[in-house]
Structure 1
Amino acid sequence: MNTETSVVVGIDTHADTHHVAVINEHGKPIADQEFLAVGTGYRKIVEFITSHGTVMTVGVEGTGSYGAELTKILRRAGMNVLEVNRPNRAERRLRGKSDPLDAYQAAHSVLAGKGTSIPKAKDGPVECLRILRTGRSSAVKAHTSAVNQIKGLLVSAPDTLRAKYRGLRTPALIATLSRARPSGHFADPEYVCLLTMKSLALRCQSLAAEISAADTALQDILDTYAPLLCDLPGVGTEVASQMLVTVGDNPERVGNEAQFASLVGAAPIPASSGKTTRHRLSRGGDRDANLALHRIVLTRMSTCGQTKTYVSKRTAEGKSKREIIRCLKRYVAREIYRQIMNPQPAPNNADLRQRRTELGVTLASAAGALGQWPSVISRLERGLIRNDYLAATYRQWLTEQTPAIPV
């Protein structure tokens, strides 16, 4: 084994085979070879690349798909692994495309330090979240499809069926259809229609149970791995799990808050022209994570007093709703990054109910003064929701109240 030569490795991954290319530290090709994408092939890859010198870095295409298992094995062997982006189309048109060319391109990208990133570890609880979310997403789509099919059949169903089921809301419709007892023969459209709708209703119930089980599993993992993330306003199980999946099991791969903003599609980029000076958010990054940010912003715009005040202020300045949402997305991305990297527990609001009781103030009176529903104030007092701005406003309002005089 030649230990004096430092080498860089590029690997083009596929479902059945992986092509490996080795270059030296100056970019000169040394060797390339194709291996089977199986356990023995992975071991031969490690032997092949180490036989040409000291491995500096390995660049792998598709670390989250075809190259996932190979990435784990290379890391266990103590090698530094980077994910390499696919070569741009212009370069492919000029230089052509083949497995050896792609492998050498991956190695040269690593050597040049461009188009690379740290791959996700995919070996911890976040990977479990990703797998559960995959199954849950499929179940949600199938459930929606089944409900739409039931309603579609009901539109053209015989009048007796439409009169019986048309006025029911979706949950009651599914429950009623699942209990139906169709009778007749297969040449009767009414019988076949009711039989099919019952089958779809039973499918809906089965899928609903599957979704509920996935939600429970997701929450169990979040309670163990990132219990404080859901303390942020507007962040529930769905949003928290998506954000963690975007970051991965190795959050240190995201170097700073600006990189996280780019990762979730919330980084502002210039979009100025002529006399117009403005910015827009990046359209790159993980679009599922960007959708999760959008959900947080919409929730806060309807429930958070501080966000409502900000929206009113920016609207008065002439900003459109879309521009305000973009600003809020950037703020939320910064907040979530800090919570993932340095979790902070929610403030203890246990004193609010005690102080309100001592002052003789009713829950309805406090809610009316703060412009909130009594249920929101009650949940805030019991620690079931987190809203730091509302808690601070509530505490300040209680401080300004005078104790009730006993009669």
Structure 2
Amino acid sequence: MLRAGVECTGSYGAGLARYLAAQQVAVVEVNQPDGSTRRRCGKTDAVDAEAAARAALSGIARALPKSGGERVEALRMLRLAKNSAVKARTQALNQLKSVLVNAPSALREELEPLSRLLRRCAELADTREGNPAADTAVFTLRLLAQRVVQLRHEATELETRITRLYLERRTAEIKGKREVMRCLKRYAAREVYHLIRADMITRHQQSDASATLMTAA
């Protein structure tokens, strides 16, 4: 085999692309068959494989897969874990808000002000008031708040590792400290933007929670 076409070389096709490249096979990125081909021939692995082979052999597919390597794969895994942590943190915050809205008014008043809501919820002590709803609300709020804090720590640690690996990767690819720093600043700017956006969403959610609590009170 001298030439092969592989779909999604940056994701699930990355392993196959790396293996073929190691076997001295020229690899090109191919697109999935268009809708008309799928409707006419059906969606099967055989049809997709034939379409990929034809695109590679005819020269229609010419895009080279992105260079991989251990650092690229490590970055992919870290980003996957970070995105999962951020998503889970947002979900836990929304769940905490839902529990808080339906909690007894005395408990809601105890947790004010909302600027310290997470810390106060995380430090709640178990109650034995004989009220299942109130006791369960305390337990659930503490659990969710601690989960949010833990996920925030995870996301921070993952981001630190991502930045370190990104710097190592760019240093290996680019000669010159100035160019490396320029790439790092560009990467940092993108990450800061996402962090600011996430913080704004969190603040908005807290404002909604405050308004809802005032209405419930």
Matched, 1:80 2:34: no
What letter corresponds to residue 4 of structure 2 in structure 1?
V
Specify which of 89, 97, 102 is matched with residue 143 of structure 1: 89
User: Shift of residue 173 of structure 1?
Assistant: 1.1
What are the equivalent positions in structure 2 for 1:2-401 lying under 5 Å apart?
55-169=1-115, 172-184=116-128, 187-226=131-170, 227-228=180-181, 229-232=183-186, 235-236=187-188, 238-239=190-191
Q: Structure 1 length normalisation: TM-score?
A: 0.42
* CA distance, structure 2, for counterparts of residue 203 and residue 184 of structure 1: 23
* CA distance, structure 2, for counterparts of residue 161 and residue 127 of structure 1: 47
| Higher share of residues assigned strand | 1
User: Shift of residue 213 of structure 1?
Assistant: 0.7
* CA distance, structure 1, for counterparts of residue 189 and residue 70 of structure 2: 18
User: Shift of residue 124 of structure 1?
Assistant: 3.2
Change (3 A) 1:130 1:67: closer
Structure with more relative contact order (C-alpha pairs < 8 Å, separation 6 or more)? 2
Percent sequence identity over aligned pairs? 33
Change (3 A) 1:77 1:183: same
Change (3 A) 1:98 1:230: closer
Change (3 A) 1:237 1:139: farther
Change (3 A) 1:223 1:67: closer
Q: Is the 8 A contact 1:59 1:107 kept in 2?
A: yes
- Provide the residue aligned with 1:299 in structure 2: none
Q: CA RMSD in A?
A: 2.5
| Higher share of residues assigned helix | 2
* CA distance, structure 2, for counterparts of residue 63 and residue 222 of structure 1: 20
What letter corresponds to residue 195 of structure 1 in structure 2?
F
* CA distance, structure 2, for counterparts of residue 225 and residue 183 of structure 1: 52
Give CA deviations for 1:39-58 in whole Å, capped at 9, x if unaligned.
xxxxxxxxxxxxxxxx3311
Which consecutive unaligned segments of at least 5 residues does structure 2 have?
A: 171-179, 198-217
Q: Is the 8 A contact 2:28 2:61 kept in 1?
A: no
Q: Is the 8 A contact 2:122 2:143 kept in 1?
A: yes
Q: Is the 8 A contact 1:72 1:121 kept in 2?
A: no
Which consecutive unaligned segments of at least 5 residues does structure 1 have?
A: 1-54, 241-290, 296-407
What letter corresponds to residue 190 of structure 1 in structure 2?
A
Q: Structure 2 length normalisation: TM-score?
A: 0.74
| Secondary structure in structure 2 of the residue aligned to 1:114 | coil
Q: Is the 8 A contact 1:230 1:236 kept in 2?
A: yes
* CA distance, structure 1, for counterparts of residue 81 and residue 100 of structure 2: 29
Change (3 A) 1:186 1:110: farther
User: Shift of residue 196 of structure 1?
Assistant: 0.5
| Secondary structure in structure 2 of the residue aligned to 1:82 | strand
- Provide the residue aligned with 1:377 in structure 2: none
What letter corresponds to residue 210 of structure 1 in structure 2?
E
| Secondary structure in structure 1 of the residue aligned to 2:148 | helix
Change (3 A) 1:225 1:103: closer
Question: Relative to structure 2, which stretch is displaced further, 138-147 or 63-72?
Answer: 63-72
* CA distance, structure 2, for counterparts of residue 225 and residue 96 of structure 1: 42
* CA distance, structure 1, for counterparts of residue 47 and residue 130 of structure 2: 61
User: Shift of residue 155 of structure 1?
Assistant: 1.4
- Provide the residue aligned with 1:259 in structure 2: none
Q: Is the 8 A contact 2:5 2:61 kept in 1?
A: no
Structure having the higher Rg: 1
